[in-house]
Protein backbone atom coordinates (compact mmCIF):
# COMPACT_ATOMS: atom_id res chain seq x y z
CA UNK A 1 0.00 0.00 0.00
CA UNK A 2 1.33 3.44 -0.91
CA UNK A 3 1.51 5.73 2.08
CA UNK A 4 0.01 9.16 1.61
CA UNK A 5 1.82 10.92 4.50
CA UNK A 6 5.09 9.67 5.99
CA UNK A 7 6.75 11.34 8.99
CA UNK A 8 10.22 10.78 10.44
CA UNK A 9 11.60 12.39 13.60
CA UNK A 10 15.34 12.69 14.14
CA UNK A 11 16.57 13.23 17.69
CA UNK A 12 19.75 15.35 17.79
CA UNK A 13 21.63 13.79 20.68
CA UNK A 14 25.07 13.02 19.29
CA UNK A 15 27.34 12.39 16.32
CA UNK A 16 25.52 10.44 13.57
CA UNK A 17 27.10 7.06 12.88
CA UNK A 18 26.92 4.15 10.43
CA UNK A 19 24.18 2.49 12.47
CA UNK A 20 21.98 5.57 12.02
CA UNK A 21 22.61 5.55 8.28
CA UNK A 22 21.70 1.90 7.73
CA UNK A 23 19.04 1.54 10.39
CA UNK A 24 17.15 4.83 10.01
CA UNK A 25 18.29 7.22 7.30
CA UNK A 26 18.36 4.90 4.27
CA UNK A 27 14.99 3.23 5.02
CA UNK A 28 13.28 6.57 5.75
CA UNK A 29 14.55 8.17 2.54
CA UNK A 30 13.50 5.11 0.52
CA UNK A 31 10.00 5.08 2.01
CA UNK A 32 9.53 8.74 1.15
CA UNK A 33 9.85 7.90 -2.54
CA UNK A 34 6.42 6.22 -2.49
CA UNK A 35 4.68 8.83 -0.34
CA UNK A 36 2.40 11.63 -1.49
CA UNK A 37 3.85 13.82 1.27
CA UNK A 38 6.94 13.30 3.42
CA UNK A 39 7.86 15.21 6.57
CA UNK A 40 11.21 15.05 8.35
CA UNK A 41 11.84 16.98 11.54
CA UNK A 42 14.74 17.53 13.90
CA UNK A 43 13.30 16.78 17.35
CA UNK A 44 15.17 19.37 19.38
CA UNK A 45 12.59 19.51 22.19
CA UNK A 46 12.79 15.75 22.60
CA UNK A 47 16.55 16.15 23.02
CA UNK A 48 15.90 18.57 25.90
CA UNK A 49 15.31 15.57 28.16
CA UNK A 50 19.04 14.85 27.92
CA UNK A 51 20.81 18.02 26.73
CA UNK A 52 20.80 21.09 28.97
CA UNK A 53 23.58 23.01 27.26
CA UNK A 54 22.29 25.60 24.78
CA UNK A 55 25.39 25.65 22.56
CA UNK A 56 25.53 21.86 22.45
CA UNK A 57 21.85 21.59 21.50
CA UNK A 58 22.27 24.10 18.67
CA UNK A 59 25.34 22.23 17.42
CA UNK A 60 23.57 18.84 17.57
CA UNK A 61 20.59 20.19 15.62
CA UNK A 62 22.86 21.45 12.86
CA UNK A 63 24.88 18.23 12.81
CA UNK A 64 21.88 16.02 12.32
CA UNK A 65 20.29 18.38 9.78
CA UNK A 66 23.52 18.53 7.78
CA UNK A 67 23.80 14.73 7.92
CA UNK A 68 20.38 14.11 6.37
CA UNK A 69 20.90 16.78 3.74
CA UNK A 70 24.33 15.41 2.84
CA UNK A 71 22.94 11.89 2.48
CA UNK A 72 20.28 12.84 -0.02
CA UNK A 73 17.31 14.48 1.70
CA UNK A 74 15.93 17.08 -0.72
CA UNK A 75 14.19 19.98 1.10
CA UNK A 76 12.47 20.91 -2.17
CA UNK A 77 10.69 17.53 -2.35
CA UNK A 78 9.99 16.98 1.35
CA UNK A 79 9.08 19.15 4.34
CA UNK A 80 12.16 19.42 6.57
CA UNK A 81 11.79 21.45 9.76
CA UNK A 82 12.91 21.97 13.33
CA UNK A 83 10.35 20.81 15.90
CA UNK A 84 10.65 23.95 18.04
CA UNK A 85 9.66 26.12 15.05
CA UNK A 86 6.16 24.62 14.97
CA UNK A 87 4.36 25.82 18.16
CA UNK A 88 1.17 23.96 17.20
CA UNK A 89 2.93 20.71 18.17
CA UNK A 90 3.20 21.81 21.78
CA UNK A 91 -0.38 23.04 22.05
CA UNK A 92 -1.59 19.71 20.68
CA UNK A 93 0.69 17.89 23.12
CA UNK A 94 -1.10 19.50 26.07
CA UNK A 95 -4.50 18.71 24.60
CA UNK A 96 -3.53 15.08 24.03
CA UNK A 97 -2.12 14.78 27.55
CA UNK A 98 -5.64 15.42 28.84
CA UNK A 99 -6.77 12.25 27.08
CA UNK A 100 -3.82 10.11 28.15
CA UNK A 101 -3.94 7.92 31.25
CA UNK A 102 -1.01 7.90 33.64
CA UNK A 103 -1.12 4.12 33.50
CA UNK A 104 -0.32 4.22 29.80
CA UNK A 105 2.71 6.42 30.50
CA UNK A 106 3.79 4.08 33.30
CA UNK A 107 4.25 1.37 30.66
CA UNK A 108 6.39 3.48 28.33
CA UNK A 109 9.80 1.91 27.71
CA UNK A 110 11.96 4.92 28.61
CA UNK A 111 10.18 5.49 31.92
CA UNK A 112 10.25 1.80 32.83
CA UNK A 113 13.96 1.64 32.03
CA UNK A 114 14.67 4.59 34.33
CA UNK A 115 12.65 3.00 37.16
CA UNK A 116 14.35 -0.36 36.65
CA UNK A 117 17.77 1.30 36.77
CA UNK A 118 16.92 2.93 40.10
CA UNK A 119 15.55 -0.33 41.47
CA UNK A 120 18.66 -2.27 40.45
CA UNK A 121 20.86 0.44 41.94
CA UNK A 122 19.06 0.28 45.27
CA UNK A 123 17.69 3.82 44.97
CA UNK A 124 14.77 4.25 47.37
CA UNK A 125 12.92 6.79 45.20
CA UNK A 126 12.23 4.85 42.01
CA UNK A 127 11.37 8.08 40.20
CA UNK A 128 14.70 9.72 41.04
CA UNK A 129 16.10 11.49 37.99
CA UNK A 130 12.84 11.17 36.05
CA UNK A 131 11.66 14.51 34.67
CA UNK A 132 8.14 15.18 33.47
CA UNK A 133 9.71 15.58 30.04
CA UNK A 134 10.92 12.00 30.08
CA UNK A 135 7.66 10.74 31.57
CA UNK A 136 5.49 12.58 29.04
CA UNK A 137 7.83 11.99 26.10
CA UNK A 138 5.37 9.66 24.28
CA UNK A 139 2.63 12.32 24.38
CA UNK A 140 4.85 14.87 22.65
CA UNK A 141 5.76 12.22 20.10
CA UNK A 142 2.06 11.52 19.57
CA UNK A 143 1.54 15.24 18.88
CA UNK A 144 4.43 15.19 16.38
CA UNK A 145 2.68 12.39 14.52
CA UNK A 146 -1.00 13.24 14.81
CA UNK A 147 -0.73 16.94 13.95
CA UNK A 148 0.13 16.10 10.34
CA UNK A 149 -2.43 13.32 9.75
CA UNK A 150 0.47 10.91 9.43
CA UNK A 151 -0.28 7.49 7.97
CA UNK A 152 3.12 5.81 8.29
CA UNK A 153 6.01 6.31 10.72
CA UNK A 154 9.20 4.42 9.82
CA UNK A 155 10.80 3.31 13.10
CA UNK A 156 13.16 0.80 14.63
CA UNK A 157 11.70 -2.03 16.69
CA UNK A 158 12.41 -0.15 19.93
CA UNK A 159 10.25 2.77 18.77
CA UNK A 160 7.13 0.86 17.74
CA UNK A 161 5.56 1.42 21.16
CA UNK A 162 5.53 5.19 20.61
CA UNK A 163 3.44 4.82 17.46
CA UNK A 164 1.10 2.42 19.27
CA UNK A 165 0.67 4.97 22.07
CA UNK A 166 -0.13 7.66 19.50
CA UNK A 167 -2.85 5.37 18.08
CA UNK A 168 -4.25 4.70 21.55
CA UNK A 169 -4.46 8.41 22.34
CA UNK A 170 -6.01 9.21 18.95
CA UNK A 171 -8.61 6.47 19.35
CA UNK A 172 -9.60 7.76 22.78
CA UNK A 173 -9.93 11.30 21.42
CA UNK A 174 -11.95 10.11 18.41
CA UNK A 175 -14.26 8.07 20.62
CA UNK A 176 -15.31 11.31 22.31
CA UNK A 177 -15.21 13.81 19.42
CA UNK A 178 -15.52 11.74 16.24
CA UNK A 179 -12.90 10.89 13.58
CA UNK A 180 -10.75 14.01 13.92
CA UNK A 181 -7.34 12.34 14.26
CA UNK A 182 -5.82 9.90 11.76
CA UNK A 183 -4.51 6.58 13.10
CA UNK A 184 -0.83 6.10 12.23
CA UNK A 185 0.97 2.84 11.57
CA UNK A 186 4.56 1.93 12.41
CA UNK A 187 6.64 0.69 9.50
CA UNK A 188 9.72 -1.44 10.15
CA UNK A 189 11.84 -2.24 7.12
CA UNK A 190 12.22 -6.02 6.82
CA UNK A 191 15.51 -5.53 5.01
CA UNK A 192 17.09 -3.32 7.65
CA UNK A 193 20.04 -5.01 9.29
CA UNK A 194 21.42 -4.45 12.78
CA UNK A 195 24.73 -2.77 12.12
CA UNK A 196 27.56 -4.20 14.23
CA UNK A 197 29.80 -1.93 16.23
CA UNK A 198 33.54 -2.17 16.83
CA UNK A 199 33.02 -4.79 19.54
CA UNK A 200 30.55 -6.91 17.55
CA UNK A 201 27.48 -5.73 19.47
CA UNK A 202 24.84 -3.46 17.93
CA UNK A 203 26.42 -0.14 17.03
CA UNK A 204 25.31 2.32 19.72
CA UNK A 205 26.65 5.42 21.43
CA UNK A 206 25.76 3.80 24.75
CA UNK A 207 28.22 0.98 23.99
CA UNK A 208 30.91 3.42 22.81
CA UNK A 209 31.44 1.26 19.72
CA UNK A 210 30.30 3.56 16.92
CA UNK A 211 31.89 4.54 13.61
CA UNK A 212 31.05 8.23 13.00
CA UNK A 213 29.80 8.89 9.49
CA UNK A 214 32.02 11.69 8.28
CA UNK A 215 35.47 10.86 9.56
CA UNK A 216 38.39 11.73 7.25
CA UNK A 217 39.53 8.62 5.31
CA UNK A 218 42.64 8.04 7.40
CA UNK A 219 40.70 8.17 10.67
CA UNK A 220 37.93 5.98 9.25
CA UNK A 221 40.46 3.36 8.23
CA UNK A 222 42.21 3.46 11.60
CA UNK A 223 38.91 2.98 13.43
CA UNK A 224 37.73 0.14 11.19
CA UNK A 225 40.95 -1.73 11.88
CA UNK A 226 39.91 -1.79 15.55
CA UNK A 227 36.97 -4.08 14.76
CA UNK A 228 36.99 -7.07 17.08
CA UNK A 229 37.86 -10.35 15.32
CA UNK A 230 38.79 -13.88 16.40
CA UNK A 231 42.14 -15.65 16.15
CA UNK A 232 41.32 -17.66 13.03
CA UNK A 233 44.34 -17.98 10.74
CA UNK A 234 44.16 -16.25 7.33
CA UNK A 235 44.12 -19.56 5.47
CA UNK A 236 41.20 -20.99 7.46
CA UNK A 237 37.64 -20.78 6.04
CA UNK A 238 35.37 -18.31 7.80
CA UNK A 239 31.59 -18.01 8.02
CA UNK A 240 30.68 -14.70 6.36
CA UNK A 241 27.20 -14.68 7.90
CA UNK A 242 28.72 -14.79 11.38
CA UNK A 243 31.13 -11.93 10.69
CA UNK A 244 30.20 -8.37 11.68
CA UNK A 245 32.72 -7.14 9.13
CA UNK A 246 30.98 -8.97 6.31
CA UNK A 247 27.60 -7.63 7.44
CA UNK A 248 28.96 -4.10 7.28
CA UNK A 249 30.56 -4.70 3.87
CA UNK A 250 27.29 -6.03 2.48
CA UNK A 251 25.45 -2.79 3.36
CA UNK A 252 27.66 -0.69 1.09
CA UNK A 253 28.82 -3.04 -1.69
CA UNK A 254 27.27 -4.18 -4.96
CA UNK A 255 25.84 -7.70 -5.31
CA UNK A 256 28.88 -8.97 -7.31
CA UNK A 257 31.27 -7.45 -4.76
CA UNK A 258 29.35 -9.04 -1.90
CA UNK A 259 29.43 -12.47 -3.52
CA UNK A 260 33.14 -12.16 -4.28
CA UNK A 261 33.96 -11.35 -0.67
CA UNK A 262 31.69 -14.17 0.51
CA UNK A 263 33.78 -16.61 -1.51
CA UNK A 264 36.99 -15.14 -0.05
CA UNK A 265 35.61 -15.78 3.44
CA UNK A 266 34.70 -19.36 2.59
CA UNK A 267 38.13 -20.15 1.12
CA UNK A 268 40.14 -18.20 3.67
CA UNK A 269 40.87 -14.50 4.18
CA UNK A 270 42.98 -12.55 6.61
CA UNK A 271 41.17 -10.17 8.91
CA UNK A 272 43.39 -7.32 7.78
CA UNK A 273 42.33 -7.94 4.18
CA UNK A 274 38.66 -8.08 5.23
CA UNK A 275 38.96 -4.78 7.08
CA UNK A 276 40.66 -3.21 4.07
CA UNK A 277 37.75 -4.33 1.88
CA UNK A 278 35.23 -2.79 4.28
CA UNK A 279 37.15 0.47 4.31
CA UNK A 280 37.27 0.59 0.50
CA UNK A 281 33.50 0.31 -0.02
CA UNK A 282 32.69 2.57 2.93
CA UNK A 283 35.06 5.32 1.86
CA UNK A 284 33.68 5.12 -1.67
CA UNK A 285 30.09 5.44 -0.45
CA UNK A 286 30.84 8.32 1.93
CA UNK A 287 33.21 10.44 -0.16
CA UNK A 288 30.55 12.69 -1.72
CA UNK A 289 28.30 12.89 1.39
CA UNK A 290 31.41 13.76 3.42
CA UNK A 291 32.14 16.66 1.08
CA UNK A 292 28.55 17.93 1.19
CA UNK A 293 28.44 17.60 4.98
CA UNK A 294 31.62 19.68 5.36
CA UNK A 295 30.13 22.43 3.19
CA UNK A 296 26.86 22.48 5.12
CA UNK A 297 28.34 22.38 8.61
CA UNK A 298 30.59 25.31 7.66
CA UNK A 299 27.50 27.36 6.78
CA UNK A 300 25.13 27.16 9.78
CA UNK A 301 23.07 30.08 8.47
CA UNK A 302 22.16 28.02 5.41
CA UNK A 303 21.04 25.09 7.57
CA UNK A 304 18.96 27.37 9.79
CA UNK A 305 17.37 29.00 6.73
CA UNK A 306 16.39 25.65 5.23
CA UNK A 307 14.83 24.53 8.52
CA UNK A 308 12.97 27.82 8.89
CA UNK A 309 11.59 27.56 5.34
CA UNK A 310 10.50 24.01 6.10
CA UNK A 311 8.73 25.15 9.26
CA UNK A 312 6.63 27.60 7.24
CA UNK A 313 5.46 24.72 5.05
CA UNK A 314 4.88 22.50 8.08
CA UNK A 315 2.77 25.15 9.82
CA UNK A 316 0.63 25.50 6.70
CA UNK A 317 -0.49 21.94 7.46
CA UNK A 318 -0.42 22.21 11.25
CA UNK A 319 -2.61 25.30 11.75
CA UNK A 320 -5.73 23.95 9.99
CA UNK A 321 -5.37 20.61 11.76
CA UNK A 322 -5.03 22.22 15.18
CA UNK A 323 -8.05 24.41 14.43
CA UNK A 324 -10.08 21.25 13.82
CA UNK A 325 -8.95 19.86 17.16
CA UNK A 326 -9.72 23.11 18.98
CA UNK A 327 -13.17 23.29 17.42
CA UNK A 328 -13.83 19.67 18.39
CA UNK A 329 -12.98 20.22 22.05
CA UNK A 330 -14.85 23.51 22.27
CA UNK A 331 -11.91 25.93 22.34
CA UNK A 332 -11.98 29.11 20.27
Domain map (residue ranges) of the chain? 5-193+300-329, 214-294
For the chain, which residues score pLDDT lower than 70?
A: 1-3, 189-193
Q: What does the pLDDT look like over 144-196, one tens digit per residue? A: 999 999 999 988 777 899 999 999 999 999 999 999 999 999 988 665 567 78
* 3 state DSSP class of 122: coil
* 3 state DSSP class of 196: strand
Break the chain down into helix, strand, coil percent, rounded to 5.
60, 10, 35
Strand partners, 5: 37
Angle between helices 300-329 and 88-97 (to 10 degrees): 40
Q: What does the pLDDT look like over 192-218, one tens digit per residue? A: 567 788 887 888 887 889 999 999 999
How far is 32 from 150, CA to CA, in rounded Å?
12
How far is 164 from 167, CA to CA, in rounded Å?
5
pLDDT of residue 1: 44
The reported pTM is 0.88
Q: What does the pLDDT look like over 228-248, one tens digit per residue? A: 888 899 999 999 998 888 988
Is residue 150 within 8 Å of residue 317, measured between CB atoms? no
SS3 for 267-321 is: HCCCHHHHHHHHHHHHHHHHHHHHHHHHHHHCCHHHHHHHHHHHHHHHHHHHHHH
How far is 286 from 87, CA to CA, in rounded Å?
36
Q: In Å, how far from its chain's centre is CA 297?
A: 19
How far is 184 from 123, CA to CA, in rounded Å?
38
Cα–Cα distance list, 27 to 126, 187, 197, 210, 251 (Å): 37, 10, 19, 19, 12
The fourth-level CATH superfamily of domain 214-294 is: Tyrosyl-Transfer RNA Synthetase (1.10.240.10)
**Is 142 buried (19+), middle (13-18) or exposed (0-12) by CB count in 10 A?**
buried
How far is 302 from 236, CA to CA, in rounded Å?
53
Backbone angles phi, psi at 5, to 5 degrees: -135, 120
Q: Which CATH number fits domain 5-193+300-329: 3.40.50.1100, 3.20.170.30, 3.30.1130.10, 3.40.50.620?
A: 3.40.50.620
- Picking from 297, 296, 292, the residue whose alpha carbon sits closest to that of residue 59 is 297
- Picking from 152, 146, 147, the residue whose alpha carbon sits closest to that of residue 168 is 146
Amino acid sequence: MTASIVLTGIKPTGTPHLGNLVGAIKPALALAESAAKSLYFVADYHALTAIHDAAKLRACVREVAATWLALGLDPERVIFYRQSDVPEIFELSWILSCFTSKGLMNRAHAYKAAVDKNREGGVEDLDAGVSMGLFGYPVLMAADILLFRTNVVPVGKDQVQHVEIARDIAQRFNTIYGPVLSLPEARISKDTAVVPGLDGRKMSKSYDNIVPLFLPPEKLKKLLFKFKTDSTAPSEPKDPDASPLFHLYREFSSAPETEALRQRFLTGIGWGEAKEAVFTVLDRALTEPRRRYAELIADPAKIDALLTEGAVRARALAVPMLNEVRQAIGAR
